[in-house]
Amino acid sequence: MRFPIDRRTLMLGLGAGGMALAQPALARSEPPVRSESFTRWVAAFKSRAIARGISEKTYDRVMDSVKPDTSVYALQRSQPEFTEQMWQYINRRCSDWRVITGKERARDYADLLHRIERDYGVSRYTMLGLWGMESSFGDVIDNPKYMRPVIPALAALAYGEPRRRRYWEQELLNALVIVDRGWADPSQMIGSWAGAMGHTQWMPEVWLHMGVDYDHDGRITPFGKPDDSLAGTARYLADRGQYRRGETWGYEVNLPASHIRLADNRSKRSYAKWHALGITRADGKPFPRPDDIVRLWQPVRGGPAFLIGQNFFAVRSYNPSSSYTLALLHLGDLIAGGGHWVHEFPGGERPPTLAEVKEIQRRLNDKGFKTDGIDGRTGSDTLKAILAYEKKVGMQPADGYAGLKVLARLRQGA
């Protein structure tokens, strides 16, 4: 998943700063077909699979009938339609719907999350934040609008995508090993165009090497019950991310103007030493573990500042985007009952409530801008409807963000 490259960069185009939005699967104008050159490539690639230990029977059963999903080429190269400022990115991912749903999942899966905390040392709220970020708590893992069979997608990438070809070949082989072990049938392996699957969006490499049969049913799977997926992901954070049991990820802090130059996310000091320099918690509380070593970071000049520790970077190992990591951990804190940050980002606004998002959707639909439901969730259809409305009425910037300004304009128009 992250070796040698970040699967999230491949999957959603998040990259540095994590500012792009997920894109739905592109409609296929024609069904996938097998060309003669692809058939020859399948025959030649067979020796690689056998050398990896995949049985000839499994390879023939899967690959002799697979049709490459060549629509993934356009998905990989397409530019995101929407861009977001950091405060918008975080607000959208820490939505009222996700917080409410996360609290429900915390109650529903309290025993599972307790066992994962005990066995791997990863906070249940970190796990809930990650689960919410990656799949909306499992809600989209088999949604055909966003997901597709991964073996045809990986086969197309391994065959026809020259960039990172070795990576795609390895992930296709990893997927075939999973099938060969009997952990899944190809028809069950549904995921992103880049091959990420399940509750916490495992690439085949992570499924294969970090997966845990946590429910003891004799196989490892990122689908179905969340037991295996959450436990395997906690194992990933502990083993590869070096997550530290008992430490927090960090805190929002007050940043004196005289110390802005220190907020470079590089200088390391203990909480106690930062406090001696005048860096205090924004909520006024003391640092409970003053000897932990942390860094001072202000993501956007004039916005909130944070002291961040090893567990921030452990989560960042799952997707090397600091924006993603901050949003995920903030979501976990909100699910735990915390509040929004004391300091606002420049130009930012509070996140809309669930009722306010529903009102935005209802008013858009009344005006003919279809959002595919009135559910309080800002998926791609709602964003497109907002963008079309903003352009029609001349709002600037036209960014598709479901916020208080667009709600005020909708009410004004009524």
Closest CA to 342 of 299, 281, 402, 287: 281
According to the model, what pLDDT value does residue 75 have? 82
Closest CA to 58 of 229, 192, 183, 146: 183
Percent of the chain having pLDDT more than 70? 91
Identify the band that residue 155 occupies on the pLDDT scale cut at 50, 70 and 90: very high
Distance of CA 286 to the CA centre of its chain: 32
Lowest-pLDDT choice from 39-43, 162-166, 356-360: 162-166
8 Å CB contact between 57 and 128: no
8 Å CB contact between 293 and 309: yes
Exposed/middle/buried for 264, CB within 10 Å: 0-12, 13-18, 19+?
exposed
| Domain residue ranges of the chain, discontinuous segments joined by + | 7-81+141-239, 250-335, 354-413
7-81+141-239 architecture in CATH?
Orthogonal Bundle (1.10)
Other Cβ atoms closer than 10 A to 237: 23
According to the model, what pLDDT value does residue 82 have? 65
Reading the block at residue 370, the tokens are 């279809």
pLDDT above 90 for 28: no
Residue-wise DSSP of 330-351? HHHHHHTT----SSPPTT--PP
CA atoms of 58 and 64, how far apart (whole Å): 10
Identify the band that residue 265 occupies on the pLDDT scale cut at 50, 70 and 90: very high
For 116, the 3-state DSSP assignment is: helix
Reading the block at residue 228, the tokens are 């295996």
8 Å CB contact between 305 and 263: yes
Closest CA to 179 of 50, 66, 54: 54
Report pLDDT digits (tens) over 315-364. 999 999 999 999 999 999 999 999 999 999 999 999 999 999 999 999 99
Identify the band that residue 22 occupies on the pLDDT scale cut at 50, 70 and 90: very low
pTM of model > 0.75:
yes
Q: Are the folds of 7-81+141-239 and 250-335 the same?
A: no
Residue 299, phi then psi, degrees to nearest 5: -60, -40
Percent of the chain having pLDDT more than 90? 85
Identify the band that residue 277 occupies on the pLDDT scale cut at 50, 70 and 90: very high
8 Å CB contact between 278 and 259: yes
Identify the band that residue 77 occupies on the pLDDT scale cut at 50, 70 and 90: confident
Q: Which helix (H) or strand (E) holds 269?
A: strand 264-270
According to the model, what pLDDT value does residue 14 have? 31
pLDDT above 70 for 251: yes
8 Å CB contact between 93 and 200: no
Rounded to an integer, the average pLDDT of 310-314 is 98
According to the model, what pLDDT value does residue 163 have? 84
pLDDT above 80 for 287: yes
8 Å CB contact between 326 and 141: no
According to the model, what pLDDT value does residue 284 have? 96
Rounded to an integer, the average pLDDT of 215-243 is 97
According to the model, what pLDDT value does residue 80 have? 57
Report pLDDT digits (tens) over 117-131. 999 999 999 999 999
Identify the band that residue 132 occupies on the pLDDT scale cut at 50, 70 and 90: very high
According to the model, what pLDDT value does residue 21 have? 37
8 Å CB contact between 399 and 92: no
Contacts of 26 by beta carbon, 8 Å cutoff, 6+ apart: 71, 74, 75, 78
Reading the block at residue 224, the tokens are 């179905």
Rounded to an integer, the average pLDDT of 160-172 is 93
Reading the block at residue 111, the tokens are 């025993």
Q: Does domain 250-335 have CATH number 1.10.530.10?
A: yes
According to the model, what pLDDT value does residue 74 have? 85
Q: State which of 2-6, 71-75, 170-174 shows the largest mean pLDDT.
A: 170-174
Look-up: residue for tokens 């964003």? 383
According to the model, what pLDDT value does residue 8 have? 43
Lowest-pLDDT choice from 18-22, 213-217, 274-278: 18-22
According to the model, what pLDDT value does residue 337 have? 97
Whole-number mean pLDDT of the chain? 91
Rounded to an integer, the average pLDDT of 378-404 is 94
Strand-pairing partners, residue 280, are: 254
pLDDT above 50 for 11: no
